[in-house]
Structure 1
Amino acid sequence: MAEHLLVSIGKARFSDPDRHLIPFVNDIEQDKFLNDIENTPHAFVLACLMDRQIKAERAWSIPYRIKDIVGSFNIDDLASVSLEEYKNIFNRNILHRFNDIMAEVFYSAVQDIKVKYNGDASLIWSNNPSSAKVVYEFLQFKGSGKKIATMAANILARQFKIPFSDYYSIDISPDVHILRVMRRTGLVDSNADLDSIIYKARELNPEFPGIIDFSCWETGRTWCRPNNPNCNECIIRDDCKKVIF
């Protein structure tokens, strides 16, 4: 079977040796802060954990907003803030849809980073780890799950160019955009569930299933919209069955 265009695009982007600024929030100052994994790697980890059931830009802005409110993003300073104060900060500033729950997630992650990783979150992905190890480490954080853990590992590998010893355990992290694209391209049935999406991605590129993640997401968000999809300008128009349902 010929390689699907989503895989080809993903491989081309992955092979690009240059690291580009990732527009997590589409605000230059905030994006530079989140991209600075050399100096504030915990900002990336905490943002990943916030990315639940709200718009991605809002979730990824939370660490920066916490930095402004607390007046520091030093891990020791963050760890000195009590759980009750984090709950007050989240609720007072309406940082999330689930403010009490996510305040607990934020607080717990800060404590884990300080204690388990000696304040240095980059130890999660240092020394050429296996993809399974990185996914496992993210799964240990309160409030995490397979989707967040694989998303984090995928971003580290694909966009931050962090070297891993393998990429087998980095699955696709399905959301509404990816689900829609996979169905409309005909790669899966129109009633396919999330597990089916994950296993199809493994079939398409077993050595790195998540390599199609960003291309799928970008396609769904930019061209393959729920209504009035822009098929003529879509980057995968030549390899899509256009199953509109």
Structure 2
Amino acid sequence: MEHTLRLAQQPEADALLGRSPLAALVGMLLDQQVPMEWAFSGPYTIAQRLGTDDLDARVIAAYDPDAFAALLSEKPAVHRYPGSMAQRVQQLCQYLVATYDGDAAAVWTGVADGTDLLGRLRALPGFGEQKAKIFLALLGKQLGVQPAGWRSAAGVYGEEGSFRSVADITGPDSLTKVRAHKQQAKAAAKAAKSAKPGPRRA
């Protein structure tokens, strides 16, 4: 089943994210230290360079590591750190092949509840606690994956009507709101850090 996503802000790249569970996972994996649109357009760029319209976990898992790194490093690069991210994408795909027979959607198919789903996402290479919760929220809010307790398992990212993460982005307006929230959070964290008292002098 295809879904409409607006994360890459490019029709072809967003279409791939909406129809390919693996593309959505890879986009989420790439979403760090680069603008969101850059990260989520990455799966489409990778598919194009592989000469296909989709991503196949088995193909990527078995790809020569040096050649795959070179693929992601071509201009324009898929990520600010294409070499290390190429390795992470391959590790993710190798895990999916070993654990889910290469079927990315099987990560969330038939889960018992939101906590079970969060555990599966956290087990994915490259997915820490926060990334797992954000992706869980994306699944629930935009991809129709809503096991019992999914909002609770996603924490603040599962809140209805929030604008905290990629899970809440459905177009330019919501993208602006999420960016504003992140800037406010970053400013608050910086202010809190500078407000901490320094070490006492003897």
Question: Number of residues paired by the alignment?
Answer: 171
1:219 to partner: Cα distance: 5.8
Looking at secondary structure, tell me which structure has more helix per residue: 2
The share of aligned pairs that are identical, in percent, is 19
What secondary structure sits across from 1:21 in the alignment? coil
CA displacement, residues 182-240 of structure 1 (integer Å, 9 cap, x when unaligned) = xxxxxxxxxxxxxxxxxxxxxxxxxxx533443786667249849xxxxxxxxxxxxxx
> Please, which of 63, 85, 93 is the counterpart of residue 81 of structure 1?
63
TM-score by length of 2: 0.74
Task: Decide which moves more: 136-145 or 155-164.
Answer: 136-145
Counterpart-to-counterpart distance in 1, 2:142 and 2:124: 22
CA distance in 2, matches of 1:44, 1:219: 19
Counterparts of 1:65 and 1:149 in 2: how far apart (Å)? 23
* Residue in 2 that maps onto 1:158: 141
Deviation of 1:20 after TM superposition, in Å, equals 5.8
- Offset at 1:76? 2.4
Q: Alpha-carbon deviation of 1:132?
A: 1.6
Where does residue 60 of structure 1 map in the other structure?
Answer: 40
Note if contact 2:95-2:125 (Cα within 8 Å) is conserved in structure 1.
Answer: no
5+ unaligned residues in a row in structure 1: which ranges? 1-18, 174-208, 227-245
Q: Where does residue 155 of structure 2 map in the other structure?
A: 171
CA deviation after TM superposition for structure 1 residue 129, in Å: 3.4
CA-CA distance at 1:85 after TM superposition: 1.7
Comparing 50-59 and 97-106, the one that deviates more: 97-106
Q: Which residue of 1 aligns with 2:199?
A: none
**Residues 1:170 and 1:49: Cα distance change in structure 2 (over 3 Å):** same
CA RMSD in angstroms, aligned pairs only: 2.6
Change over 3 Å in CA distance of 1:57–1:71 after alignment to 2: same
Matched, 1:136 2:101: no
d(CA) in 2 for partners of 1:34 and 1:44?
A: 5
Aligned residue for 2:163, secondary structure, equals: helix
Instruction: Decide which moves more: 90-99 or 62-71.
Output: 90-99
> Who is 2:193 aligned against?
none
Matched with 2:29 is: 49
Judge conservation of contact 1:109–1:142 (CA < 8 Å) in 2: yes
Could you give the per-residue CA deviations for residues 121-146 of structure 1, whole angstroms, max 9, x where no partner exists? 11111125311222222222222212
Question: Residue deviations 1:23-73, cap 9 Å, x none?
Answer: 11122221111101xxx3111111111111111010001111111111232
After TM superposition, the structure 1 = structure 2 runs for residues 1-245 of structure 1, keeping only pairs within 5 Å, are 21-36=4-19, 40-72=20-52, 73-93=55-75, 94-167=77-150, 168-173=152-157, 209-214=158-163, 221-222=176-177, 225=180
* Structure 1 residues 129 and 57, CA gap change in structure 2 (3 angstroms): farther
Name the aligned partner's letter for residue 23 of structure 1.
R
Helix, strand or coil at the partner of 1:134? helix
Structure 2 gaps of 5+ residues are 182-202
Deviation of 1:98 (Å): 1.6
